Amino acid sequence: MLKLYNTLTRQKEPFKPKRQDNVKVYFCGPTVYNYAHIWNLRAYVFEDLIIKTLRFLGYNVSTLMNITDIDDKTIRDSQKAWEKLKEFTEKYTRIFLEDIEKIGITKADKVVPISNLIDEMVRMINTMIKKWYAYIGDDNSIYFDISKFKDYGKLAHLDFSWLKSSVRIDNDEYDKESASDFVLWKAWKQEDWENFWEKSFSIPAKVWIYKKDSDNLIDTRVKHENDNIVTIKGRPGWHIECSACNMVHFWPEIDIHMWWVDLIFPHHQNEIAQTEAVTGKQFCKYWLHSWHLMVDWKKMSKSLGNFYTLKDLEEKYKDKLKDWVFYRAFRLGFINWKYADSIDFSFSKLEQNFRVIEKLDETIKKLEFVKASLKSEKWSSFQKWWVLKVNWIRREFRENMQNFISEFIEYLEDDFNFVEAIAWFHSFLTFVNKEIDKLTLEEHLAIIDMFKTYNQVLWIVKFDFEEEKIPDEILQKLEMRNTAKKEKNFILADALRDELDVLGYKIIDSREGSRLEKK
C-alpha cells in the first residue's frame, strides 16, 4: 500500500483517494515572467515523479496545472520589456513547456492560464463577501478576513491567534511575520497600466468597510450604505487564482496538491481558506512539498553568481545534448535525493551523472546488439535452435527479475523513496552487465522490458539510438584488428585499437562479435 508524508498532518499515512479511478492532482504552475531556473525545475521533476509513480502503481490520475500570467511580477517585467502582458507571458509559457518536455516531465492534462479564470474568481469573491469572509478596504480592494476562518494556519501549523482583524496586505508574496488579511481583488494602481478588468461585486447593505484612522492607528468601522452592485477596476490577487482553477476543473475537492515548501505559507494556506470558505468542504486531503535546491550547498542567487536556468546549462554542455545525455543526467540529479530534503546541485555532480547515463546507454546498445545477433542466429540456423535454447528462461533468472521489480515497487510505495529506488535500479544495471553474455534471447527481451518498466517512472533510459554510418575505411581497420586478434598478433591488434580511438571510435567486444561506436 502506498504511504506518503502529508504536510497537513505532519505524518506518513496510507493514501486513500476519494476515487482510485480518478485521482485529482493539482500543482502550482510557473509565474511566466522569465526563464524557469533550476530550483523551479527541481520542484517540477519532483511532481512528475509523483504523478508517474501513481500511474505506475495503477491509479488513474487526472492532473491540472495553472499558469500565473497575471501578478505583480508579470506586469512589472512586461512593462520593462515594453510588451503587452498577454504576448509577454505567452512567450515564457511556451519556453517553460519546452524546457519541461526536454527533461522528461509529462505536461499536465490541463494547463490553464489564470487569465482565463477571471469570471470564476469574481464568483468566488462574491460568495465570500456574502458569507462574511471578505470585505472592501478603504483602498477599494477586496480582502479576505482571516479572523473569520476558524482553522487559518492549520497547513503551516502556525498559531495566528495574535493577528488583528483588518490589518491588510496586498502584496502577492509575504512571510508569516507579515501575515494579515490578504487581497482577493486588487484595485487598479497607476503602475498596472492597461492591465485591469472592471468587474462587479455585490455588497450587502450591512457589510462593513474597514478604514484606518491614520492619527490613532486603530481600526474604525464605517457602515456601507450601498445595497447595490459595486464595480471595481482592478485585477485578481495571486492566491485566488489557484482556488479558481481547481473549482472550474476539479470542483470543490481534490486528492493531492503539490509544489515546493516555501509556498506552504502564505499561498497554500490562503488557497485552503478561500476554497473552504466558499464550499464548506475540505479542499485537499494530501499536501506534498519538495524542499530547497542549493548550489554547492549555498543559496542560489544572482548576487552570488550561482543562479542558473536550463538554457545556461545547455550552453555550457552543448557536447552532451546528443542522445539527450544532458537532460537525462540533469533529471537523475534530482531523482537521487529525498524530495522532502534540501538537495545540492554542482557541476561536478552533474558531470558524474553524465558518466552514469553514458554507461547506461552502453548497456542498452549492447543489449540491442546481442538481441539482434541472437535473432539472426535463431532464424538463419533453425536446425540449431535446441542448442541455443533461445526460448528458455532460467528459474534463477526469473526469481531475480521478480525481486528487482518487487523491491522497486516497495521503495516507491514508501513515501516515494526515490533514493532507494534508484539505488535498486543501479543494482539491476550491475546484474545485467554481469549476466549479459550468458543470456538467451528471451532473457534479453525480459531485461529490455524491465528497463522499460523502470523508465515509466525514472525517464533516464533511452532505447532508440540513431545508427551512424561508419566509413568503410574505419570498418576495414576493425576487421584487420579482429583478424590480428584471432592470429594472436596482439601488438598489431592493440595498435589498430589505438588508431581507431584516435579517429574517434571505440571497440565494443562481446561473445557475438565486435562493433564500433562513435565516442
Which residue is it, cell 485537499?
284
Using alpha carbons, list the distances in angstroms from residue 80 to 24, 191, 238: 38, 11, 20
Q: Does 113 or 486 have the greater pLDDT score?
A: 113
Please state whether the peptide bond connecting residue 266 to the residue before it is cis, i.e. omega within 30 degrees of 0. Answer: yes
- Distance in angstroms (rounded) separating the CA atoms of residues 35 and 471: 42
| Lowest mean pLDDT across 146-150, 211-215, 317-321 | 211-215
Most confident of 143-152, 272-281, 431-440: 272-281
- Distance in angstroms (rounded) separating the CA atoms of residues 453 and 489: 44
Q: Residue 313 pLDDT > 90, yes or no? A: yes
User: What pLDDT sits at residue 440?
Assistant: 82
Spatial neighbors of 311 by CB under 8 A, at least 6 apart, are: 35
- Distance in angstroms (rounded) separating the CA atoms of residues 240 and 75: 17
User: What pLDDT sits at residue 384?
Assistant: 47
Opening angle at CA 174, ends 171 and 179, nearest 5: 100
Of 26, 16, 18, which is closest to residue 247 (Cα–Cα)?
A: 26
Average pLDDT score over residue span 484-512: 76
Q: Does 419 or 517 have the greater pLDDT score?
A: 419
Confidence of residue 499 (pLDDT cuts 50, 70, 90): confident
Q: Does 480 or 105 have the greater pLDDT score?
A: 105
Q: What is the 3-state secondary structure (H, E, C) of 384-445?
A: HHHHHCCCCCCHHHHHHHHHHHHHHHHHHHECCCHHHHHHHHHHHHHHHHHHCCCCCHHHHH
User: What pLDDT sits at residue 177?
Assistant: 54
**How do 181-187 and 142-144 pair as beta strands?**
antiparallel
User: What pLDDT sits at residue 247?
Assistant: 97
Look up the CATH superfamily of 3-290: HUPs (3.40.50.620)
Phi, psi at residue 218, to the nearest 5°?
-125, 160
Q: Residue 215 pLDDT > 50, yes or no? A: no
Average pLDDT score over residue span 336-364: 95
User: What pLDDT sits at residue 482?
Assistant: 81
User: What pLDDT sits at residue 361?
Assistant: 95
User: What pLDDT sits at residue 223?
Assistant: 44
Average pLDDT score over residue span 139-152: 90
Confidence of residue 20 (pLDDT cuts 50, 70, 90): confident
Confidence of residue 503 (pLDDT cuts 50, 70, 90): confident
Q: Residue 366 pLDDT > 50, yes or no? A: yes
Amino acid at 210: Y
Q: Does 172 or 83 have the greater pLDDT score?
A: 83
Most confident of 314-318, 487-491, 499-503: 314-318
| Lowest mean pLDDT across 346-350, 394-398, 456-460, 473-477 | 473-477
Amino acid at 225: E
User: What pLDDT sits at residue 224?
Assistant: 46
Of 265, 270, 307, which is closest to residue 289 (Cα–Cα)?
A: 265
Phi, psi at residue 212, to the nearest 5°?
-105, 130
Average pLDDT score over residue span 405-429: 97
DSSP-based three-state secondary structure for 372 = helix
Average pLDDT score over residue span 345-353: 97
Which residue is it, cell 475540505?
282
How much is the mean pLDDT over the chain?
87
DSSP-based three-state secondary structure for 115 = helix
pLDDT in tens, 64-112: 999 999 999 999 999 999 999 999 999 999 999 999 999 999 999 999 9
Query: Per-domain residue ranges for the chain?
Result: 3-290, 348-458, 472-518
266 neighbors 174 (Cβ within 8 angstroms): yes
User: What pLDDT sits at residue 157?
Assistant: 83
Opening angle at CA 304, ends 301 and 305, nearest 5: 90
Percent of the chain residues past pLDDT 70, beyond the cut: 86
Average pLDDT score over residue span 348-372: 91
User: What pLDDT sits at residue 391?
Assistant: 56
Of 65, 56, 39, which is closest to residue 416 (Cα–Cα)?
A: 56
User: What pLDDT sits at residue 30?
Assistant: 96
User: What pLDDT sits at residue 210?
Assistant: 47
Which residue is it, cell 552533474?
350
pLDDT in tens, 177-192: 556 899 999 999 999 9
Average pLDDT score over residue span 180-205: 90
User: What pLDDT sits at residue 495?
Assistant: 79
User: What pLDDT sits at residue 205?
Assistant: 60
Query: 353-367 in b/e burial notation, b at 16+ Cβ within 10 A?
Result: bbebbeebbebbbbb
Confidence of residue 206 (pLDDT cuts 50, 70, 90): low
Q: Residue 343 pLDDT > 80, yes or no? A: yes
Q: Residue 387 pLDDT > 50, yes or no? A: no
DSSP-based three-state secondary structure for 509 = strand
Q: Does 62 or 391 have the greater pLDDT score?
A: 62
Neighbours of 455 (CB within 10 A): 16
Confidence of residue 519 (pLDDT cuts 50, 70, 90): low
Opening angle at CA 282, ends 278 and 288, nearest 5: 120
User: What pLDDT sits at residue 277?
Assistant: 97
91 neighbors 30 (Cβ within 8 angstroms): no
